[in-house]
């Protein structure tokens, strides 16, 4: 199949002085800068370079843990949430010290900053690691859908971003071909074996959708580079994180096994992942049994049954379902829901993040002016209310 992005005739190659690797690195940096909105990625710390090492599932309780909900292609709101938690400074560099951040998934779809968000979080991962901090990004149902070629929630702006990305990849290739000895640094199979038509995509977006497919399919450039680093389940201290939620069957399957199998699928080393893990309505990224807005609709017995299967864990933190009244807890705060619909197309609500300290005390940090003049303190486990309007909650602007 022809490339969805046209390219020019190959120029005559020249001798690059025996330093093709350095030239290729310069070109790759130039391409990254062009597609990321002007970011230079800092050097990758050694722990982050170990691509083939298993994904870590369990982390110790840090002095400060921040949970950020669904972002859906809105870089501006993501930065507002990070500033709210004092994790980035005015220059948008990591300022969180040794804090741990968990973004619970759904960076993809419904917005036009998907690639920029992946680069921005990659930059923060590297900066945080250097400072002794940690940034964890997770798979939501929209990450899984996009790797699977399901673009029904992609926007025109999102398609355009991937079309621009593909153009710059081909530009980088053409620049590399200007030098002898660059063959091993070329991207030779970017548009190989693309479908003739991407389903559920209008004709005017087909070329852009093919670029998106090439980037995000298993073993695609972006899938490998960014999404393969995402966890699907993670435990930090006494909190377990999952985009939709966990059932006991998921836990008995093995949380390390879940992360490894999803990662292997994203990297093209596995043909599929079990339907019950990432695709069905009761899968880890689609489950809503514990995130219904009405507390009475949440199955607390089922939740407690699941949590009791993970030694030392006292709560489950999830996104996926918008909480119109902000971050809240149900089932005696065994379930904490952090998707507040902050992205522009999902309600454009005020950013909020969850903060947990090393004593396992919880606090909501919010930009909602309704709460700015209030700062209520109470016993641990009462800091996250089931009814925001009348219960006690500690908030900070």
* Lookup: tokens for 36: 């990321």
Sign of the CA dihedral running 298, 304, 306, 311: positive
Pairwise CA distance, residues 365 & 357, whole Å = 13
314 exposure class (CB count in 10 Å sphere: 0-12, 13-18, 19+) = middle
Convert 169-182 to b/e letters by CB count within 10 Å (16 or more is b).
bbbbbbbbbebebb
Length of the chain equals 397
Catalytic residue among 142, 243, 250, 320: 142
Residue 77 three-state SS: helix
Pairwise CA distance, residues 248 & 303, whole Å = 8
Pairwise CA distance, residues 191 & 243, whole Å = 31
- The tokens 């969805």 sit on which residue? 4
Pairwise CA distance, residues 71 & 51, whole Å = 26
Pairwise CA distance, residues 390 & 397, whole Å = 19
CB 344, CB 356: distance < 8 Å: no
* Lookup: tokens for 85: 């938690």
Backbone angles phi, psi at 66, to 5 degrees: -120, 135
DSSP tag of 19: -
142 is catalytic: yes
Active-site residue list: 142
């Amino acid at each position: 199949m022809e490339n969805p992005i046209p390219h020019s005739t190959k120029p005559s190659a020249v001798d690059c002085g025996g330093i093709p690797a350095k030239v290729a690195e310069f070109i790759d940096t130039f391409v990254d800068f062009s597609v990321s909105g002007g970011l230079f990625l800092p050097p990758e710390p050694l722990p982050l370079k170990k691509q083939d090492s298993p994904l870590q599932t369990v982390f110790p309780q840090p002095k400060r843990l921040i949970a950020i909900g669904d972002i859906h292609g809105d870089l501006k709101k993501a930065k507002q949430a990070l500033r709210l938690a004092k994790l980035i400074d005015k220059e948008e560099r990591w300022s969180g010290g040794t804090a741990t951040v968990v973004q619970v998934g759904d960076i993809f779809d419904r917005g036009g900053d998907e690639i920029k968000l992946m680069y921005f979080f990659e930059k923060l991962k590297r900066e945080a690691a250097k400072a002794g901090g940690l940034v964890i990004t997770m798979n939501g149902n929209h990450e899984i859908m996009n790797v699977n070629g399901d673009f029904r929630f992609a926007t025109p702006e999102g398609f355009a971003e991937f079309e621009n990305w593909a153009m710059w990849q081909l530009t980088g290739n053409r620049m590399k071909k200007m030098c002898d000895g660059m063959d091993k640094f070329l991207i030779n199979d970017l548009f190989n074996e693309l479908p003739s038509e991407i389903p559920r995509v209008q004709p005017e977006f087909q070329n852009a959708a093919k670029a998106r497919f090439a980037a995000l399919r298993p073993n695609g450039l972006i899938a490998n580079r960014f999404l393969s680093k995402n966890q699907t389940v993670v435990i930090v201290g006494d909190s377990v994180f999952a985009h939709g939620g966990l059932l006991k069957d998921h836990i008995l399957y093995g949380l390390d096994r879940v992360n490894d199998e999803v990662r292997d699928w994203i990297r093209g080393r596995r043909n599929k992942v079990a339907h019950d893990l990432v695709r069905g309505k009761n899968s880890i990224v689609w489950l809503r049994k514990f995130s219904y807005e009405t507390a009475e609709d949440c199955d607390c017995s089922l939740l407690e049954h699941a949590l009791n299967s993970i030694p030392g864990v006292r709560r489950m933190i999830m996104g996926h379902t918008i909480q119109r009244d902000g971050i809240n807890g149900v089932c005696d705060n065994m379930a904490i829901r952090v998707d507040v619909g902050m992205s522009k197309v999902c309600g454009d609500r005020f950013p909020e993040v969850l903060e947990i300290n090393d004593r396992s005390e919880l606090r909501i940090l919010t930009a909602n002016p309704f709460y700015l003049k209030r700062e209520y303190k109470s016993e641990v486990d009462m800091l996250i209310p089931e009814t925001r309007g009348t219960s006690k909650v500690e908030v900070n602007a």
